[in-house]
Amino acid sequence: MKNLFILLFIPLFTMAQPKLKMPTDPKATAETQKLYQNLAKLKDVGVMFGHQDDLAYGEGWVYEEGRSDVKDVCGDYPAVYGWELGHIELGDAYSLDSVHFDKIRGWIKTVYARGGVNTISWHLRNPLTGGSSWDVSSKDVVKSILPGGTKHELFKDYLDKLAAFFLTLKTDDGTYIPILFRPFHEHTGSWFWWGKNLCTIDEYKSLWKFTVSYLQNEKHIHHLIYTYSTDRFKTEEEYLERYPGDDIIDILGFDLYDRGPDYPEMLKSCAATVSKLAKEKKKIATISESGGPIATNTTWWTMVLETIRPFDISYFLVWRNPWQPAGHGAFAPYRGSPDSKDFIRFYNDKRTLFQNEVTTEKLYE
């Protein structure tokens, strides 16, 4: 019944919609344009569920072909799949989460063939100090990598390696696979070297503008949909303070982890603001990264769904289920997890969309 509802509803909804805004890249590929337009339609039907590294590993397993912790619980894959490219800039064979880049490339192709959505984050190394993304020992990093800075050429080398990977993301017939790209995220905090206390407003905006221009104009990459993603915020002004512009941003997102009893109210407030701004700007709103104490709060999924139900949110992605010690537990359900029953209720709700409801015909054609 859930799948039938989606299939019946989308054509009726589409007929009533005005012409959709195109992605900001004027040379966006046809598939990228279609994905953006169809994501804009689909958000009014339901919110897609996403999971980081879903096909790569999970609770007690790694690199098992076709396996997914989410599928183990509900019988279906997520609609959105998150991937991380930290260390691609170093020329390494695998990411900072120890996932081989050739594997990620293969899974991205698998997801596209299924009609799912791929989103990529990039925890790049600190170009000034050589430390990790979390090295906040200097406030000069962003300044140093902008044009004229001492590390500008090194940053361009980072972008060259990133671009080389993006250009391999294509089907056997040469079609480039659209990607939601989410760099320089959670900048309203200061735990990454691009955070609010580590660079000026203009420096952060310039970082975004240079990156997008370089990828589009120098590397000729036109299959990216650019996602702006803050951490928690309290006001519309705070959310937009470092916004680099409507001319380069396609998706308005925010990251918000459950760190205490204020989470439901904060989630509601942030979702309301971002969905409002997305409507005004003719963009798409999303909750680009989240996670909560599902091992102890066994109705967490119900709480999340009821909180975001009133808003036009494209997708809600939770972070990974680590197969190595990572300082946190699983953020998605897994076989036998305490939250499994509640997650199945979440899955069965007509407002949530998983792989079975997101087909190639809907998103890329």
What pLDDT digit, counting tens, does each position of 313-353 carry? Answer: 999 999 999 987 666 889 999 999 999 999 999 999 999 99
| pLDDT confidence bin for 256, thresholds 50/70/90 | very high
pLDDT given at position 354: 97
For residue 272, the model assigns a pLDDT of: 98
Residue percentage of the chain with pLDDT more than 70 = 93
**CA 171 – CA 161 distance, rounded (Å):** 20
pTM higher than the cut 0.85: yes
- From the list 239, 236, 238, 253, the residue with the least C-alpha distance to 317 is 253
In order of their start, the domains of the chain are 2-363 (3.20.20.80)
Per-residue tokens: 144:
């140093």
Average pLDDT for 135-152? 98
* Dihedrals phi, psi of 182, to nearest 5 degrees: -130, 75
Report pLDDT digits (tens) over 198-224: 999 999 999 999 999 999 999 999 999
pLDDT higher for 233 or 7? 233
Q: How far apart are CA 232 and CA 245, in angstroms?
A: 20
The answer on pLDDT for 12 being more than 50 is no
What's 218's DSSP letter? Answer: I
Q: Above 90 in pLDDT, residue 269?
A: yes
CA-CA distance, 37 to 364, in Å (whole number)? Answer: 9
**Integer Cα distance of 137 and 347 in angstroms:** 43
pLDDT in tens, 159-198: 999 999 999 999 999 999 999 999 999 999 999 999 999 9
Residue 61 φ then ψ, to 5°: -150, 160
Q: Are 283 and 261 in contact (CB under 8 A)?
A: no
